[in-house]
Amino acid sequence: MLHIVTALPCEAKPLIKQYRLNGRQAENGFRIYENQQIRLIIAGIGKCAAAAACAYLQGAEPQGKHAWLNLGIAGHGDLNIGEAIMAHKVTDATTGKNWYPAMPFNHPCPTATLISVDQPQTDYCANTAYDMEASGFYATASRFNSGELVQVFKVISDNHANSAEQVSAQLTEQIIAARLDDIDALIQQLFKLEQQQQMSPEIKQFQQHWHFSVSQQHKLQRLLQRWLARSQTAIKADDFSNKKNSKAVLQALEKQIIALPMSFGDK
């Protein structure tokens, strides 16, 4: 699942349309839209709101390992309205703390340093983007997954020539809609990375048949991984149906693993 955090409804609207996200019944606190793969939350403006939105989504599924994307608009010293950046460095203007999102994939647009400020910015340093959410988002979301799966994508809405005061909801919607191809390329990359983190599903089959203590669950997980590594075939819980309890299952599984061939391809 990919969690997308936006500040404003107008930032979210093109994504809701593109990915056919359905709005949840009214919940306290946040508006949430989702489909099978994406959950989008409209956080409101500011770092605290972004952090709270991340915590809200994760809190609904504390064990979940999700990809995270902060998507929205930003000001920039040099770039034109409508250009997009990914943040390679996020700085909190108040605390001076920095985060460096790792991007082990081809990014769909240029990258830039992004400074999160408390008030809309009117002075822009060269080569730097400004927003009001990313540091709160990053500080919180990176607690729930590794940095490669926590990314920040911004479309430039204001610069020296066009101040933040001139940014309308309509303009925001337009410039984000115009970058949907880049956004989709990034989302596909995040899905690919996220898939590499998923655990083997067989453990659930075993848990349905027998009760495993927490330490036995760890042992079972590791044995199933070893089985898969050595046999290259999936294992079925039904194959152990004659075992009375979890201890007997673990013993039988270990015995079978030891008997499997151990080779590394052709000589």
Partner 1 sequence: MIQTLYIEQAIFDHPRSVAIRQRFPQASVVTCERYGEVFNPKAQNFRLQKQQPSLILAEKFNKFVLEAPFSYNIGGQRNYYFSHMLNCIYDCRYCFLQGMYRSANYVLFVNYEDFDTAIEQTIKESNQPAYFFSGYDCDSLALEPVTGFIKHTLPLFKKFDNAYIELRTKSTQIRSLLEINAMQNCIVAFSLSPDNLAAALEHKAPSLSKRLDALEKLQQTGWPIGLRFDPIIYCDDYQQIYDEFFKQVFARINLKQLHSVSLGTFRMPQGFYRNIVKLYPEEKLFAGPLAESQPMVSYESELEQQMLNFCRDKLLELIPEEKLFICHDDI
Please report, as ranges, the residues that interact with partner 1 according to CB under 8 A.
88-89, 98-100, 102-107, 110-111, 113, 142-143, 145-150, 193, 196-197, 199-200, 222, 225-230, 257-258, 261-267
What do you get for the CA distance between the two ends of the chain, in Å?
41
Residue type, 62: P
How many angstroms separate the CA atoms of 129 and 85, rounded?
A: 8
The CB-of-173 to partner 1 minimum distance in angstroms stands at: 28
Contact 195, 35 (CB under 8 A): no
Cβ closer to partner 1: 166 or 197? 197
Smallest distance, partner 1 to C-beta of residue 98, A: 6
CA distance 237 to 243: 10
> Minimum Å distance from CB 29 to partner 1?
25
Could you give phi then psi for residue 218, rounded to 5 degrees?
A: -65, -45
Nearer to partner 1, 24 or 222 (CB): 222
110: its two tokens: 């240029």
Cα torsion for 51, 56, 58, 62, to the nearest 10°? 130
Cβ closer to partner 1: 52 or 257? 257
What is the closest distance, in whole angstroms, from the C-beta atom of residue 256 to partner 1 in the complex? 12
The residue among 25 and 195 lying less far from partner 1, judged by its C-beta, is 195
- SS3 at position 169: helix
Least gap, CB of 169 to partner 1 (angstroms)? 31
User: Two tokens at 260?
Assistant: 């499997």
CB of 32 to partner 1, least distance (A): 24
Burial (0-12, 13-18, 19+ Cβ within 10 Å), 152: buried
Question: Looking at beta carbons only, is 174 or 225 nearer to partner 1?
Answer: 225
Q: How far is it, in rounded angstroms, from Cα 131 to Cα 133?
A: 6
The nearer residue to partner 1, 1 or 228, going by C-beta atoms, is 228
